[in-house]
Structure 1
Amino acid sequence: MTTTEKTAKLDSFASGMSGSSTASRAAQHPIAYRPDIDGLRALAILSVLLYHAFPTFIRGGFIGVDIFFVISGYLITSIIFNKIQNNEFSFFDFYIRRIKRIYPALLLVLTFTTAFGWIILLPSEFSTLGKHVASSVFFVQNFTLYHESGYFNPQATLKPLLHIWSLGIEEQFYLIFPVILFSAKKSNRKLAWIIPTIAATSFLINIINVASHPEKTFFLPHTRFWELLTGSIVALIDKKTETQNIKKYSGLFSALGIALILTGVFTTKESDIFPGWLALIPVIGSALIIYAGPKSITNEKILSNKLIILVGLISYPLYLWHWPIISYLYILGNGTLSVESGFFAICISFALATATYYFIEKPVRSNKKQYKLLAYMAITSAILTTIGLAINFGKITPFVTTTPLRDVSYAINEWEYPQGLYTTKINNSEINKINGEKYTLFIGDSNMAQYSPRVVYLAKNKLTKKGAIFFTRSGCPPVSGAFEKKTEHCKTAFLDINVAIENPDVDTVVIGAAWVSYLGLSADFIYNNKIMNTPEGRKELFLQLEKQIKTIRSNGKKIFVLLNIPTGNELNPSNIINRNSLLKFNATRNSEMISKSDIYIKFPWLSELKRVATINGATVIDPLDYLCNQQTCSGTTPSGMAIYRDANHLRPTYVRKYIKYIDATMQ
């Protein structure tokens, strides 16, 4: 490689994911271009890309982001440290170069994502996209996503800008870390103590919080900075050993690093608690590869391969493009992604990334009209932010709202609970309540909470004298001590339930939940050390339900057990609309029917649940008797009104007017 080629590549060699300009040339700065780190970038982006395109085959590819974090910490620390030592560091210069490097490709992808979203997204999805566009412009997408569903939630595939969370972490690090590095160096404080201390603190916060607050730990910077700081520590160690021509054991370090990363890619699962301790696998693996240096045999022969380097060079635009494309293919496929679609996404992503690199990134990087470029980017950012906020607040609506299927489109994610109720507490447990002479206590998850619009309607229109107490916890089985493997928040969800049951003003108790999820579809829930969707687990839960019913009846109260509503992707209003027809600026329907008999065939234990409840004195309400005819269950009324808000919950508008089977519990 010639000196000129090395110099050109240095311009993109400063960060794990997004890169950054180094401004000066190799002759002026001791940090030299390392092709093996571009190779490591390639390994990271390919892991992420293959995971998103083929999630059932490359289960742990999401750890590629952790590799990027380590690379970022190493390169930025090396560059800033060298500039500070040479008295050349400028905050203004550093941040201007970050803007020039990051924004052009990002603004292009945001523009495409917004325009395509207008064509195929439904109102609630488009509103969320608008919020994400504005968040992405300012690199706070990780904070926005923290307040929504988790990264591994099935609904996450419907968020085309989900992946920008990691750019947020990096940019927040770049905002803070140069100040720490500069201040420490100028005050002669020992970086060898400061950086490891901050890294250890961040890692401990991650370990402490990952089980109880998984989304917080996944998305927020203070539980992720330790990964970037691991790269910083490697950079500082490199400074101590830079005079050595060959690092002892470098070949072993590199091989072990590759082995760790591949182990993580193929063994880590979405259901694992992450980051937590497991994040050490890709972080340590990446650190070992970087520390091994460009002359270690693995780094030189494999990671420095020209084709692999090329993938590394386009890793930033490839990262930006791949997920919106895959997400939109999920949406067009009604929540599924075929293998063929996965290959198509990879090909299109590589094509767009290559074009972006050569026609956007490189010209911008070499353009000398710095302030003119910054002005263009500032104006474009302001326009995108304004459009994003207008979309989020409903001032700009998607194409589908102009079609006959607009009612179906507006049903998506319609939700009212706990509107009409006031929040109070029983001991340490939060409940939602509407007053009355006596009370019906509703115990369950969001499948129970979905009935609140009808209950509030009855109470406020004086169709009942009773009040209601909703003791519900979303995503938690209505049994004290049951919990999800990945998080323990359900363990304490119903600790105070007996206090609520024993309340003398409560004369009726209703227990309901997404039984088919806890006892059938999901293997993630544990009760009495048994997985709930196994025969042994179901037996344990049925025994507990039997005890609970007997306890309630012994207190002289009526007891209802509410079974599952029909569920399935066919009933989801987002799938009723044929998204492919929207590409032609039309709007046609998909089938919205599921077979009633198939439900009992798929979940035969529903009959056992009904039997246990009935023989112990509970009144069983089976929504299938009301929401289905003899053969099928539909996602819409005969007039075409959507019944559901998603695949698993009824729409509040429909519940309030038509779900009269709940009325018996309020008598």
Structure 2
Amino acid sequence: MRRGRHWRTRPHSSQAASLPSFGYPVARPCTHTTTRTMQEGHPGKLSYRPDIDGLRAIAILLVVVFHFFPARLAGGFIGVDIFFVISGFLISRIIFRKLETAEFSFIEFYTHRARRILPALVTILLATHAAGWFMLLPDAFGKLGKHVAGSAAFVQNIVLLREDGYFDTASELKPLLHLWSLAIEEQFYLLYPLILWAAWRLGISLPATIGLLFLLSFGLNIAWVEHAPAQAFFLPLTRFWELFAGGLLAWLAGTGQSARRASAPGLLDTLASAAGLLLIAATLVLVDQDTPFPGWWALPPVLGASLLILASPRTWINEHVLGNRLAVFIGLISYPLYLWHWPIISFIRIATPDAPSLAIRCAGLALSIALALLTYMLIERPIRFGSRSRAPVLLLCLALLVTGSFGYHAHLRHGYPERYPAQVQALLQPDDYDTWFAAVRTGQCHLQTAEASKRAENCVETRRPLLMLWGDSHAASLYPGLHHLQASLGFGIAQFTQAGCGPVLDLPVLLHKKNCNALNRQALAAAHELQPDILIIHGAWMHPHWPIDIPTLRTKLQITLEAVRTALPDTRIIVLGPVPQWRISVSKLMYETWLLDPLHRYPGQYMRHGLLEEIAGYERAIAETAHGAGVDFVSAREPLCSAEGCMTRTGAEITAPSIYVDFGHLTTEGSIHLIEALRSRIFQGIAPRQAPADRPALTASGA
């Protein structure tokens, strides 16, 4: 029935029978009402449970310690899953009680959410955007603007999912990365109240409804975590089950068992509380960033949080561990602390190219706590618990809209490059991956995703002499240069490249590149079938996506080269050493060089600043292994480097084409420059010969 401007429920007898009795006073969520303890037993009221705030404290401390000191708490990210359970529990209790007393209003519900969420969120978005103006280069500031807009619209999880990929910016360089979880919560609360209200009106059992949705969401999570890990992590449908778990807890807490637990905790309560804490602790020890998550591994922390909530608040753990004053205090500021801590970490990483020291990280943690406390006391509490009129809520919504618009405008304007002089803008060209993807035939001959295994038919040409290219994305970068030579030399190319998969058999299996070993063996089988005149084996060699030390690389490369020599007795095998690699994108390093120069001179064609010196050690090891295996080694660094450093542009002019797309992938111009320089070494002594007549044509998959 519509009363005034509010949509309210009108319960009847069949609807009332579908819910359990909620006569016993239940947990009063401090995040949605005042912090005073309400009268026990007052119908329709929710009593305050300090242990819930203590559980918030555990959740936020796990996340914050994991982010500031990842080596100390590798599984701390499970704190987000605990937050989801708490949030689903507290919101569900409010909705259940309002439905039973015929007081539920969608406007009131979302007004409550706005008062709770928006004050601190708008503050953090404005502060982060302002800091980005001064600290970020145009490309990064434009991306931050997109994230501000995505966070303001509560779709940051979708924005991040669309960015996920090999060439994505490192996580710690995204100041608003953490708001994916807030987006999932708010997406949940757009649907959840409507589902409960509709089920209540139709007389459908609420626990049955929530339980069914829980199973569907959990099933999707299990189905996707192995084959689509990014989707399983970021999509709401694979995360909602954790909030539905809180909803089921809210229903259980409304049964008669709650009254027994409140009066005197029994053995089951004590066991539940202890088991809950043990499950959370065990998960912390057993999971890390390489664990497929959420998946089954998210179940123990969710179950642990559920047991702690379901247990009596008077058990020893709930009352003395979770309910102590320090834990409650941290729980009260947990939301602004969560919002503040990641932008601070991110800007520290942006400002310190090397890993920040322990002292800097501790200072960042202290600053996060201080800002969280100030935000809670000066912004969050006055707005949440101040005037009950709707004017503050309307102003908050307007502020969020304006903030998101500012961010989106910065994104559309590519981060306002006009902040810099014209010639500096020439140094700050964004990494042009779209052009690079097209140049290396991504999705056709260069496979970009872990699931891909099929190549287009034109990836294997029939002309002789035939040159086969095997390796990762750095090897794919050679294709434009090789293709450029085809007009004058008339050879064919067979391209077998896969993002993140170095041309070494039996690489360490990483979760997001599980098919690397299969694809490398597929490439070796194709080489045996094709018997190319030249085989170029190339990769980054020192690579974060397959991090193996030099001794291990020597061993695995030696085994690989022996297998290649056996399969290709008449082929000239060339191991091409790594190209120079840099700490960050070369364009950003050129800007740093200009910025750090007292006279603001523009960097020359050769540069040392930001060059990764470790590459030389990998090159020596690869050269020695290749020579020991009786195959040719060709250096890719020699044509690009001199005593002055390594080349950044193909010419001396500041506007000359860049050698690099980013930190180490060659542009088309850079690829042509390198291959022209290596032309005589690659093709020396190679004469055309006929393809083996007794071998069948290669399939499109290359196998």
Range into which the TM-score falls when normalised by the shorter chain = 0.7 to 0.9
Who is 1:358 aligned against?
A: 377
Who is 2:578 aligned against?
A: 564
How do 1:231-630 and structure 2 match up within 5 A?
A: 231-240=246-255, 241-244=257-260, 245-248=263-266, 249-334=268-353, 336-368=355-387, 370-398=389-417, 401-402=420-421, 405-410=424-429, 412=431, 416-420=435-439, 424=444, 429-431=454-456, 438=463, 440-455=467-482, 457-458=484-485, 462-463=487-488, 465-466=490-491, 468-478=493-503, 482=507, 484-487=509-512, 488-494=514-520, 496-497=522-523, 501=527, 508-517=534-543, 522=547, 533=549, 539-554=555-570, 558-569=572-583, 573-574=587-588, 577-578=591-592, 592=609, 594=611, 599-601=615-617, 605-611=621-627, 615-616=630-631, 619-629=632-642
8 Å contact kept, 2:506–2:556 = no
Fraction of identical pairs, as percent: 33
Cα distance in 2, alignment partners of residues 421 and 517 from structure 1 = 19
Q: What is the TM-score normalised by the length of structure 2?
A: 0.79
Cα distance in 1, alignment partners of residues 326 and 169 from structure 2 = 34
> Shift of residue 202 of structure 1?
2.3
* TM-aligned CA distance change 1:344 to 1:402, over 3 Å: farther
8 Å contact kept, 1:442–1:469 = yes
Comparing 438-447 with 405-414, greater Cα deviation is found at 405-414
2:174 counterpart of 1:162: no
Cα distance in 2, alignment partners of residues 587 and 210 from structure 1 = 50
> Shift of residue 79 of structure 1?
1.4
8 Å contact kept, 1:35–1:309 = yes
> Shift of residue 88 of structure 1?
1.5
Cα distance in 2, alignment partners of residues 580 and 293 from structure 1 = 63
Amino acid at match of 2:351: L
Cα distance in 2, alignment partners of residues 537 and 173 from structure 1 = 47
How do 1:38-77 and structure 2 match up within 5 A?
A: 38-77=53-92
* TM-aligned CA distance change 1:38 to 1:636, over 3 Å: farther
CA displacement 1:604-632 (0-9 Å, x = unmatched): 6323432256x14xx43221222333696
Q: What is the TM-score normalised by the length of structure 1?
A: 0.83
SS in 2 for 1:103: helix
8 Å contact kept, 1:433–1:467 = no
* TM-aligned CA distance change 1:116 to 1:463, over 3 Å: farther
> Shift of residue 142 of structure 1?
0.9
> Shift of residue 164 of structure 1?
0.5
> Shift of residue 172 of structure 1?
1.5
**RMSD of aligned residue pairs (Cα, Å):** 3.9
Cα distance in 2, alignment partners of residues 127 and 653 from structure 1 = 26
Cα distance in 2, alignment partners of residues 39 and 652 from structure 1 = 56
> Shift of residue 370 of structure 1?
4.2
> Shift of residue 662 of structure 1?
5.7
> Shift of residue 136 of structure 1?
0.7
In structure 2, which of residues 187, 196, 202 is the aligned counterpart of residue 187 of structure 1? 202
Cα distance in 2, alignment partners of residues 580 and 203 from structure 1 = 52
* TM-aligned CA distance change 1:80 to 1:313, over 3 Å: same
CA displacement 1:262-301 (0-9 Å, x = unmatched): 3333553222222222222321221111111321111111
* TM-aligned CA distance change 1:338 to 1:445, over 3 Å: same
| Unmatched segments (≥5 aa) in structure 1 | 1-6, 15-19, 524-532
Who is 1:230 aligned against?
A: 245
8 Å contact kept, 1:444–1:513 = yes
Amino acid at match of 2:251: L
8 Å contact kept, 2:29–2:46 = no
Cα distance in 2, alignment partners of residues 256 and 603 from structure 1 = 53
* TM-aligned CA distance change 1:639 to 1:256, over 3 Å: farther
Cα distance in 1, alignment partners of residues 438 and 390 from structure 2 = 51
CA displacement 1:399-442 (0-9 Å, x = unmatched): 76437544443255656333246664799513596898736442
Amino acid at match of 2:53: D
> Shift of residue 70 of structure 1?
1.0
Comparing 113-122 with 191-200, greater Cα deviation is found at 191-200
> Shift of residue 372 of structure 1?
2.8
Amino acid at match of 1:517: H
8 Å contact kept, 1:449–1:472 = yes
CA displacement 1:18-70 (0-9 Å, x = unmatched): xx789997645243211111111111111111111111222222111111011
8 Å contact kept, 1:442–1:509 = yes
Count of residue pairs brought into register by the alignment: 635
SS in 1 for 2:380: helix
Who is 2:31 aligned against?
A: 13
CA displacement 1:153-173 (0-9 Å, x = unmatched): 881110001000111111111
8 Å contact kept, 2:580–2:612 = no
CA displacement 1:150-200 (0-9 Å, x = unmatched): 799881110001000111111111122222222223323333333233323
8 Å contact kept, 1:303–1:309 = yes
> Shift of residue 443 of structure 1?
2.2
> Shift of residue 351 of structure 1?
1.8
Comparing 99-108 with 246-255, greater Cα deviation is found at 246-255
Cα distance in 2, alignment partners of residues 176 and 92 from structure 1 = 14
Amino acid at match of 2:539: A
Amino acid at match of 1:147: R
Cα distance in 2, alignment partners of residues 381 and 63 from structure 1 = 29
8 Å contact kept, 1:571–1:593 = no
Amino acid at match of 1:624: R
How do 1:125-204 and structure 2 match up within 5 A?
A: 125-149=140-164, 155-204=170-219
8 Å contact kept, 2:144–2:176 = yes
Amino acid at match of 2:310: Y
8 Å contact kept, 1:51–1:59 = yes
Cα distance in 1, alignment partners of residues 550 and 593 from structure 2 = 37
SS in 2 for 1:510: strand
